[in-house]
Amino acid sequence: MLKQQKITEQIRAHALHLGFDACGFAKAQYLPTEARRLDEWLSQNKNGTMGWIENYFDKRVDPTKLVPGSKTVVSVLASYHHPKHNEQIGVKDEPLISKYAQGRDYHKVLKKKLKHLFKFTEELLGGLEGRIFTDSAPVLDKVWAKRAGLGWIGKNSNLLNKDIGSFFFIGEMIIDAELSYDSPVTDHCGSCTRCIDACPTDAIYEPYRVDATKCISYLTIELKEKIAEELQPKIENWVYGCDICQDVCPWNSKSVIAQFEDLHPRSYVVDRDLSFWENLTKQQYDEVFEGSAIRRAKYNKFTSNIEIVQENIQKN
């Protein structure tokens, strides 16, 4: 047991050495409560056009089916916060891009670091089977981070951490090694409802429940067709994603600056006036957003969002 604990702490220490802001460990097992809640949410069509969430349901709620032989889920957090982000809070007269998408595509950044962590763990144990993930497979990442003691899931459905807020990415290693497991932390949202009160579309229809079909992030990224007319004014000036429910969260007053420089905002993405976005060509889109998560929205969707935002700004 002492050796197991020592190995666990060595892995955690190396994760922090690599630049992750936190690392926790949970036993890989079936998630009955989450399976019930997810099934209920899907049956109410709260996922909208994101049909992929319905795929691989059994693997999504049981990592031992996703990675046969797995015993441990190692979760890591990587902040993407930057002081420049504070300048964007409350801005109404220019297009806004969600903070997480202002730097390099996080999938690329975290996977590279997770590969190093996996190799270190493999060498430490003298062999290892498993896989790494960063929002790229049927993994309930917030649930596993919660079980690993890295925070609690707040009323806006984001993972919250007392020390670093919620402006971070989550990654995992699901491995066949048995390690020492962390204990979940308690919920610290209390009676606060700032995220619920601030959402322009009422997407947080009750504490801890989000209707994706009303969420600005869904409307500006995942929804392939044009946003419904009645919802267009409510996206305000967000052309890609939304940070409102996180910006108002008191715990984000403690956000830590991203250690991975690739996640810092790119000036040529955020330091643009409205006229640039209005006249954005396909070639400019490809050049500006090379290696960016924003490419998920595709050019036609992005420019459609800009048209809506332009009209909202003019009316503001």
135 flagged as catalytic: yes
Choose, from 21, 105, 135, 202, the residue flagged as catalytic.
135
Task: Round to whole Å and give the CA distance between 59 and 65.
Answer: 5
Taking only Cα atoms into account, the Rg of the chain, rounded to an integer number of angstroms, comes to 20
Task: Round to whole Å and give the CA distance between 136 and 109.
Answer: 13
Task: Round to whole Å and give the CA distance between 313 and 316.
Answer: 5
Half-sphere exposure of 74 (CA within 13 A, CB side): 28
Would you say how long the chain is, in residues? 316
Nearest to 277 by CA among 235, 239, 224, 231: 239
Compute φ and ψ for 79, nearest 5 degrees. -65, 145
- How far are the Cα atoms of 85, 154, 159, 232, 287 from residue 253, in angstroms, in the given order? 12, 15, 15, 30, 34
Q: Angle CA(181)–CA(148)–CA(192) in degrees, nearest 5? A: 145
Numbers of helices and strands, H then E, in the chain: 13, 8
DSSP 285-298: HHHHTTT-GGGGG-
Q: State the catalytic residues.
A: 135
